[in-house]
Amino acid sequence: MRFIDPHIHMTARTTDDYERMAAAGVVAVIEPAFWLGQPRTSVGTFVDYLSTIVGWERFRAAQFGIRHYCAIGLNSKEANNEALAEQVLDVLPRYLPKEGVVAVGEIGYDDQTDAEDRFYRAQLELAKSFEMLVMVHTPHRDKKRGTTRSMDVAVEHGVDPGRVVIDHNNEETVEEVLDRGFWAAFTIYPHTKMGNERMVEIARRYGSNQIFVDSSSDWGVSDPLAVPKTAKLMLERGIPRADVEAICYGNALKAYGQSGQIKEDDWLNPPAIDQRVLYEGNSVLRGQQPRIDDLPPIPAVKEEIVFK
């Protein structure tokens, strides 16, 4: 089985994580732009961060045979520094049309302030003018109301719900999201939000239509193997294999594939130029032999030291 982690902040992760993810069958990741744990103070650090996501991180992932895509946007927390947020908004058009940028994101509400509202709306307009999808971060606090509001505002701006992914859902929000025709993503966090046990129950109840899971791993306590581990648990608990594949791979591909920027061929049959330039023979595609039959093993942390 192959997996996509459609929301993970790889710049905050180590090469051990990449190795374990590749070994567990993760073939592609989507890295949405977000905050760094503490607020940035100048537009230059945003530029460097966004350039890292489309440049260095993409190369780093390629070394492990993992295709790296991203979403570009101004996160809701940092929208509250309005003077800086305006400058960030000015540099986003430099990044949005680049290769492998699958959406504007992650954008939305955190505290649901006026400033957050202003920049969420401005970025919905950007998404429309660049004909792009939207990845919405729903707030941790006052979640239900914040999720409803995120969808209301997207609809108000004329964005097609089928082109919007509402992320970080839970049992309280999922029904409305699906009813309104948005994509519902679930973040499997080890201790908070959704655990994999709860996810199994959601899959049992709602099936696999319009639903997918991600790890949202970042610099906090999180698990970059959350997607393959959830798949394993779902199979053990008797969720049909086709549903597991849809929830852990196919639906994310379908949702973000609408951008034209992520295709199965990218990892099954990469263009010659990418094989020559980005994926150097030895370590890479060999690790990506399609795993049709069984779940790949979930590897332990690799304990091997090499002197460079």
For the CB of residue 141, give the shortest distance to other proteins in the complex, in Å. Answer: 34
The helix, strand and coil proportions of the chain, stated in percent and rounded to the nearest 5, come to 45, 15, 40
Q: How many C-beta atoms surround the C-beta of residue 171 within 10 A?
A: 13
Beta bridge partners of 135: 165
By CB under 8 A, residue 54 contacts other proteins: yes
List the interface residues with other proteins, window 251-280 (CB under 8 A). 260-261, 271-274, 276-278, 280
By CB under 8 A, residue 100 contacts other proteins: yes
By CB under 8 A, residue 205 contacts other proteins: no
Helix 114-129, helix 143-156: angle, nearest 10? 40
List the interface residues with other proteins, window 207-226 (CB under 8 A). none
- Look up residue 172 and give its DSSP letter: T
- Look up residue 248 and give its DSSP letter: I
Q: Is 227 exposed, middle or buried (0-12, 13-18, 19+ CB in 10 A)?
A: buried
Nearer to other proteins, 191 or 308 (CB): 308
For the CB of residue 282, give the shortest distance to other proteins in the complex, in Å. Answer: 9
# residues contacting other proteins (CB under 8 A): 28
Reduce the DSSP state of residue 158 to 3 states and report it.
coil
Task: State the binding string over 10-49 for other proteins (x if CB under 8 A, else -).
Answer: -------------------------------------x--
Nearer to other proteins, 238 or 260 (CB): 260
Beta-carbon contacts of residue 14 (< 8 Å; ≥ 6 apart):
none
Of the candidates 99, 114, 294, 303, which one interacts with other proteins according to CB under 8 A? Answer: 99
List contacts with other proteins (CB under 8 A): 47, 50-51, 54-56, 58-59, 91, 93-95, 97-100, 260-261, 271-274, 276-278, 280-281, 307
